[in-house]
Amino acid sequence: GRVEAVETSEGTLDADLAVLVLGMRPEVTLLKEAGLQMGAGGGVKVDQMMSVGIDGIFACGDCVESLDLLSGLRGAHMLWGNAVRQARVAGTNAAGGKKTFSGSMNVTTVPIGDVAVASMGRTARDLEDKGARLLVREDPFGNKMALVLLEDQIVGVQGMGRLEKVGGMMKALLERKRAQEMISGFRKGLWLGWPVRSIQMDLEKAHSGGNQWLRGTQGKGR
């Protein structure tokens, strides 16, 4: 048979295609059996040198928990760019060097033509037990954006629409714009123009060793 509709908590939606998104979880069975300490997100705890707390043993990639530079929260950020940067740190230190990992960039963007689906930071479902809430807005042209709020802090953004619409809010989050300033403009329908592809280029710089770029965005507003 064919898909004709999808039932959600908000009602029934007509559809001719259904895509299942299951997500990922760290595979840490061996690490648990070895007695290593796990974090709340299911990954092994490491310090800034990617050490698991045992002399000479380091971990990196999908199995570890790290600091999310955007939200300031720790979790398993299972993206290749983060794994590459963590591996450089872990490998350097395993070889006797001294290198630290500043944190992960939890960003995913999928441009399809001039439309993009993008996610940055944490989701409301991730932080449901902490009281996170969503502020959602959709303009007449179908561009949809959601801010994830935890108390007075914006800890995530999800969006879908034209590149300049999605990218603007994400640039503001990257640059640590004040939460109230972002929320006020968001409610008024003000969108900052900044293409998602520009975000991708900056992330590529960060992933290729641009730690100065990461330090420049951490904790600053412009």
End-to-end CA distance of the chain: 54
Average pLDDT over residues 186-208: 46
Average pLDDT over residues 96-118: 85
What pLDDT, on a 0 to 100 scale, did the predictor assign at position 201?
45
pLDDT digits (tens, 9 = 90+) for 44-72: 999 999 999 999 999 999 999 998 887 77
* Residue 166 falls inside a structural domain: yes
- Check pLDDT > 70 for residue 128: yes
Residues 83 and 141 in one domain: no
Q: By mean pLDDT, which of 27-36, 123-132, 144-153, 190-199 is the weakest? A: 190-199
Residues 88 and 137 in one domain: no
Q: Which residues of 161-177 are buried (b: 16+ CB within 10 A; e: fewer)?
A: bbbbbbbbbbbbbbebb
Domain count, the chain: 2
Residues 122 and 137 in one domain: yes
Residues 96 and 111 in one domain: no
The answer to whether residues 90 and 71 touch, using CB atoms and an 8 Å cutoff, is no
Give the domain CATH number at 139: 3.30.390
What residue numbers bound the domain in which 46 lies? 29-105
Rounded-to-integer distance, Cα 96 and Cα 82, Å: 22
What pLDDT, on a 0 to 100 scale, did the predictor assign at position 174?
62
Most confident of 23-27, 152-156, 217-221: 23-27
